[in-house]
Amino acid sequence: MEKHILALQLSHILGEDFPRDWVHGLIETPKQGDHGDLAFPCFQLAKTFRKSPAEIAKEIAPKLQHQVFQQVRPVGGYINIFLNQSFIADHTLQQLLADPGQFGSLQFGKGETIVLDMSAPNIAKPFSMGHLRSTVIGNALANLSEKCGYETVKINYIGDYGTQFGKLLAAYQKWGDEKSVRENPIQELTKIYVKFHEASKEDPSLIDEGRSWFKKLEEQDDEAVKLWRWFKDASLEEFEKIYRLLGIDFDLIRGEAYYNDKMSDTINLLKDEQLLVDSEGAQVVRLDEVGLPPCLIRKSDGTTIYATRDLTAAIDRFNNYQFNEALYVVGHEQTLHFQQIQQVLQKMNFSWAPNLKHIPFGMMLKDGKKMSTRQGKTVLLEQVLKEAITRAEKNIEEKNPTLANAGEIAEQVGVGAVIFHDLKHDRRNDVEFSLEDMLTFEGNTAPYIQYTHARAASLLEKGSFRLKDAVTTFDDELAWPIIKLVRNYPVVVENAYKDYDPSKIAKYLLDASRAFNQYYAKTKILESDQQQARLTVIFALTVVLKDGLNILGIQAPLQM
């Protein structure tokens, strides 16, 4: 609100050549409190007004007047604005207390639907740390979307089809042992898949065997289908254990194979639009006009490729959900693929094709290199989660051995640590796997935020705080940083959604936690003449901490 008021006044003072949006974009938030709460730099005005920035600042500052401005100071080429702390605090706290559960909720997405393609592990392969990113980023984006008023549909598009499964079937025929696979399906299937990959380097004919088995699968060969279904069911059962630990569920779990008998309709549509072109025995859609390589639709041996299935899936999803946006939370190495998919759909004259958005993210690296199942270089997510929970249990046992529900809280803390370690990074950056960094319970971590929330909740309990006793009148300058952060929460939510960037929420939560701990260290909260007012501020902080953690898919324990 304050930035909009300031931008409106400045635009009016400066004249029609300086529109409000342009002015708003220049307004800064000073890092140092003695420089004010907001600042406007006048340097870009010097050429137009033929005056120094300092002169312009001195002329404009006295003209800025509003009840939200406590003081306006020209300092060099800047106009520094100090806000009316009492007015802002009262307005913010009244707004939050009116409906704490809805604070920060926005309505610009009301009546619209967003479909998210996320997680998407491959069957018969371990759920590795490499799959964590799509899963937790996708879940956080779904939560952000709902916070902004959208209906969301979370789809786990399981990788259960393609040439790699032909390789797996061929590998099982050569080296598979039914008893071993039934006892430990993922581990055994991964072992023979890796063995197949290594053996094919010496014997390239194995690749042809893999293609042959995939062709059998496409043609619904009884043995191929029976094995494939067994591998799929066993995999889904293992995946569900991971999702339960992460606290993530889906509106729809569907594999690529679901579209096996529906791809012919897509291919016929492409034919009707005269978009299919023969190329060395295969069929492609040319995309020369947009500077992209051809999109392969059917291979020379007649089998389909995942582009064919993704086209079919996109059409099916729109028919079912009439989405306003479809977000594909998939690593950046698939950028070209999604550019091709969108362009092919546009050439097929689907008006909704521009609403498909690839949300890329960096890789999870190990020792600076991409993790790879076929090379046997993976870190299993389930093992990491269990290790995180074990360390949390030890930490609780050392610091709070009498804590009730210690096992449940250890799980919330351990799992939260793993999720936050991913989401605190800009999603576009690669993340180096480090168990030590991930499971540190101090610094820029989820346990630090969770502990802050628990400490604040403990104060509220000790002070017997009740909403009906809340006090919004404000005369506590030390609490001002917390008030500003609470007030800014809806803006952070909106920016995180618009940039598809959960790390903005993570960074906000760290800032809010630091602000509380600094306040806690300097202020006597209980048994003071301002106890209720200070507890009201702390209650407001717990609201945004809990809500922000929930958006990231992390629990906020009341005790630790």
Contact assessment for residue 251 and residue 155, using Cβ atoms and an 8 Å cutoff: yes
Query: What is the CATH code for 381-552?
Result: 1.10.730.10
Position 376 scores a pLDDT of 54
Domain 2-83 is found in CATH 3.30.1360.70: yes
Position 15 scores a pLDDT of 93
**Tokens read off for 490:** 């809806």
Distances (CA, A) of 196 to 9, 26, 208, 228: 70, 59, 12, 17
Position 408 scores a pLDDT of 95
Under the banding of pLDDT at 50, 70 and 90, the label for residue 377 is low
Contact assessment for residue 105 and residue 114, using Cβ atoms and an 8 Å cutoff: no
Contact assessment for residue 478 and residue 553, using Cβ atoms and an 8 Å cutoff: no
pLDDT score of 51 more than 90 = yes
- Please provide residue 178's backbone torsions phi and psi, each rounded to the nearest 5 degrees: -60, -45
Amino acid in position 37: D
| pLDDT tens track for 69-100 | 999 999 999 999 999 999 999 999 999 999 99
pLDDT score of 469 more than 70 = yes
Query: What is the CATH code for 115-260+322-370?
Result: 3.40.50.620
Position 375 scores a pLDDT of 56
User: 386: burial class by Cβ within 10 Å (0-12, 13-18, 19+)?
Assistant: middle
Contact assessment for residue 507 and residue 553, using Cβ atoms and an 8 Å cutoff: no
Helix axes 163-175, 205-218, angle to 10 degrees: 110
Q: Can you tell me the mean pLDDT for 245-250? A: 96
- Please give the full DSSP string across 292-331, using - where no structure is assigned: ---EEEE-TTS-B-HHHHHHHHHHHHHHHH--SEEEEE--
C-alpha 49/C-alpha 72 separation (Å) is 21
Q: Can you tell me the mean pLDDT for 154-176? A: 92
Q: Where are the alpha helices (DSSP H) in 219-277?
A: 222-246, 263-272
pLDDT score of 280 more than 80 = yes
| pLDDT tens track for 110-147 | 999 999 999 999 888 888 887 899 999 999 999 999 99
Strands 276-279 and 282-285: antiparallel
Q: Where are the alpha helices (DSSP H) in 64-148?
A: 85-98, 129-147
Query: DSSP character for 63?
Result: G
Position 131 scores a pLDDT of 87
Question: Could you tell me which residues are beta bridge partners of residue 285?
Answer: 276, 295
Question: Could you tell me which residues are beta bridge partners of residue 279?
Answer: 282
Answer whether 115-260+322-370 and 381-552 agree in fold.
Answer: no
Position 474 scores a pLDDT of 86
| pLDDT tens track for 181-210 | 999 888 899 899 989 989 999 998 999 999
Under the banding of pLDDT at 50, 70 and 90, the label for residue 367 is confident
Under the banding of pLDDT at 50, 70 and 90, the label for residue 372 is low
Q: Could you state, in order of their start, the residue ranges of all structural domains in the chain?
A: 2-83, 115-260+322-370, 381-552
pTM: 0.92
Structure-token match 């076929």, residue found: 374
Residue 40, classed as helix, strand or coil, is strand
Amino acid in position 8: L
C-alpha 195/C-alpha 204 separation (Å) is 13
C-alpha 482/C-alpha 125 separation (Å) is 46
**Tokens read off for 422:** 């991913």
Contact assessment for residue 446 and residue 554, using Cβ atoms and an 8 Å cutoff: yes
- Please give the full DSSP string across 482-521, using - where no structure is assigned: HHHHHHHHHHHHHHHHHTT-THHHHHHHHHHHHHHHHHHH
Helix axes 129-147, 480-498, angle to 10 degrees: 110
How many CB atoms are closer than 10 A to CB 293?
Answer: 12
- Please provide residue 254's backbone torsions phi and psi, each rounded to the nearest 5 degrees: -145, 135
Under the banding of pLDDT at 50, 70 and 90, the label for residue 434 is confident
Residue 277, classed as helix, strand or coil, is strand
Question: Could you tell me which residues are beta bridge partners of residue 253?
Answer: 156
Helix axes 531-552, 85-98, angle to 10 degrees: 60
- Among 136-150, 280-294, 371-385, 449-463, the least confident range: 371-385
Position 26 scores a pLDDT of 97
C-alpha 460/C-alpha 458 separation (Å) is 5
C-alpha 372/C-alpha 380 separation (Å) is 12
